[in-house]
Amino acid sequence: MCCGHMHILRRTCLWRPKQREPRSSQHERLACLMENLKCASSPGWKQELCGSRVQTGNRKTMPLRIGRAKAVTTFSVDQYVGLITEVTAKIPTEKQSERIRFPGPVRLDDRAREQLFSILIPLVDQIASFLGLPERNYEVSGVNLASAASFDRGIAISGYSADLPIFLALLSTTLGVAIRQDVACTGHIASAEGDIRPVRGISQKIQAAVAASGISAIVIPDLGKDRSFEVLTPVEYESAMESIARHKSHLQIHVCGDIRNAVEVLMPDESIVLGSLISGFFGNRGTGPYPENPIYHTVRYLAEGNEKRFWFVLEKMLLDCDFEKARSYLQAYADFHIRNKCYPKYLGEQLSKLLISLPPSVSRLKNIFPLVQTDLVIRLSQMAGPEDHSDVRQVYKASFGEGLEATPRNPKAREPHDQPADETEALLYGILNEISEENLADLVKPLDEARSRYASSQVTVADGFEFNEAVTAFYTHLYRHMTSPAGPLDKSALSTEALELVEKAFRKDGGYKGALSEALQGIHGGMRKVFDIMTEYWKQDAKQKHIGMVFKKAIDPKNWDEKVRLMEVFMDRLHPDLPIDLKGMPPRLLASHWEEVISHYSESIAKLKDFMRTL
């Protein structure tokens, strides 16, 4: 049975565990930008293994690289030990007759080569084809090979445990999408559809990742799959599970069942957006038909939602005051549309809305502008149609921080929600579904996400004017994410609404004056506390409004018979779950209070679920 070992040829030096340096247990999402985007116009830009480092607050920056993946394998002399190495894939700058070459000290045995040509390269080719990209030739090598590199020894990879890092390196260089260098991975890609199967030596590999400098996470196969015991003995399985439990507080351990899961871990949004802009599959939903397998799921993950990803990433860069990266990011976005001879719809409007929502502590910084260079705006304007001219002016203004009013456009008429079926039972379950805990949580999820991304370092304010400006900016940020407004954003109206929200949110703590006092003194968190309470009030208000809307649309207030019938169905279908006192009540008596009855029932189910989660 294949063990996926890495054998040191000639003499070797055993890996020895070393004291692990302390590291943070959480990492913010990475920002990926290549240091010089101008190289994108040259034919060999992807072959430059240029990467970027992302500033994550006060944490150390984490590098990303194109075409380079960290592999964790095992080798044996007297016992199996773990080894961290790097697999590198490059697209050669010169033509080569072979599909793949192996320069450097790494050698693949016959089984590993067969796996590379029969499974790994075809997987990459299929993903590239779906994204509209050509097949490539490659040079595959290994770098920084731990003990072997120290003694200039050759290394032979046998077996299948390096399948996943080799695949990721090939995919990364093909798409131009950088991958995380703080994540090691191992796994056997066992099918042409991209399923990942268990490999041996998981315990030793986890120990090697824990001991390695610069590694904060590891990707391993799902050991819970049915076929695990075809690879692992019961002793190996128990050892692996024990190692996972012992090290999970020191190392992020990601369990992946297929290539889609692994891509999500190792290719952050920033990398995908930048790679798609430069390689050309930004906005490309892929060419079908798609098979329902991990390949298709990977293509969808890489191809869909990149416009939304772009604005989320740009927002994070601006909130982090990383203006140079934001400018480069916008340049890549503009270059993509210029190459494709199309104007990015509503660029000026979206950029203006984003800038209005920035905290004053960010938007007042002198080095934030210009965001887009004048010559780039001129080139973009040449792609614009008559309907885009007003938006082009907005791009000019937003780029230099002038007049941040959004350009109005005709909002699309909303499609009415599908009405529930005529049957009263369908109506009842439709209402319960709409006001369920899960549905309400999804409703306000954009507010939670918007609050988590608004990482302002400002704790206190100097005076009421600064407070008003700060809460207006934050309110605009929430408003933009919750409602996706199409049309102008009036700062005066937004300020009025923001202050009204503060008054309501702090009604039990002195209203506006209480919020201002907290912002001035910072006793309980200052502005962060104010932002949290504003968000929570908006969430609860949104839920109540949604519930009220559902009830109003469900039954005509004047239709008494329908209310009675609804309560009859309610009592009949949900009888086992109802309190004893309620079970004996006539439906006609409950019909006058049908909204309260259903609402309280839904709340009781939610409380029961909360209780069950604690057991």
**CA separation for the pair 251, 84 (Å, rounded):** 15
Q: Which of 317, 319, 367 is nearest to 474 (CA)?
A: 319
What ranges in 280-388 are assigned the alpha helix state H? 294-303, 306-319, 323-339, 347-356, 360-363, 374-381
pLDDT at 85 over 80: yes
pLDDT of residue 19: 39
Residues 124 and 198 occupy one common structural domain: yes
- Of 399, 429, 460, the position where a domain reaches its end is 399
Out of 96-105, 411-420, 423-432, 512-521, the most confident range is 512-521
pLDDT of residue 90: 93
CATH of the domain at 226: 3.30.230.10
pLDDT of residue 157: 66
pLDDT of residue 127: 95
Decide if 271 contacts 178 (C-beta within 8 A).
yes
Mean pLDDT, residues 156-169: 85
Decide if 292 contacts 190 (C-beta within 8 A).
no
Residues 249 and 199 occupy one common structural domain: yes
Among 199-203, 226-230, 587-591, which is the least confidently predicted range? 226-230
Domain count, the chain: 2
**CA separation for the pair 491, 405 (Å, rounded):** 8
**CA separation for the pair 173, 121 (Å, rounded):** 12
Residues 266 and 360 occupy one common structural domain: no
- Residue % of the chain over a pLDDT of 70: 79
Residues 368 and 254 occupy one common structural domain: no
Residue 183 counted as domain residue: yes
Residues 217 and 355 occupy one common structural domain: no
Residue 207 counted as domain residue: yes
Residue 484 counted as domain residue: no
Which residues, including other chains, have CB under 8 Å from residue 320's CB and lie 6 or more apart? 31, 55, 455
Residue 392 counted as domain residue: yes
Residue 116 counted as domain residue: yes
**CA separation for the pair 388, 6 (Å, rounded):** 58
- Of 365, 399, 433, the position where a domain reaches its end is 399
382 by Cβ neighbours in 10 Å (0-12 / 13-18 / 19+) ranks as exposed
Sheet of 51-56: strands edge to edge?
Answer: 51-56, 59-65, 179-180
Residues 316 and 192 occupy one common structural domain: no
Residues 69 and 163 occupy one common structural domain: yes
Residues 237 and 321 occupy one common structural domain: no
Residues 109 and 243 occupy one common structural domain: yes
pLDDT at 531 over 90: yes
Residue 588 counted as domain residue: no
pLDDT of residue 25: 34
Grade residue 428 by pLDDT with cuts at 50, 70 and 90. confident
Residue 11 counted as domain residue: no
Residues 122 and 166 occupy one common structural domain: yes
Residues 190 and 144 occupy one common structural domain: yes
Residues 239 and 333 occupy one common structural domain: no
Domain span at residue 316? Answer: 305-399
Residue 455 counted as domain residue: no
pLDDT of residue 484: 65
Decide if 537 contacts 530 (C-beta within 8 A).
no
Grade residue 158 by pLDDT with cuts at 50, 70 and 90. low
- Whole-prediction pTM value? 0.69
- Of 224, 256, 272, the position where a domain reaches its end is 272
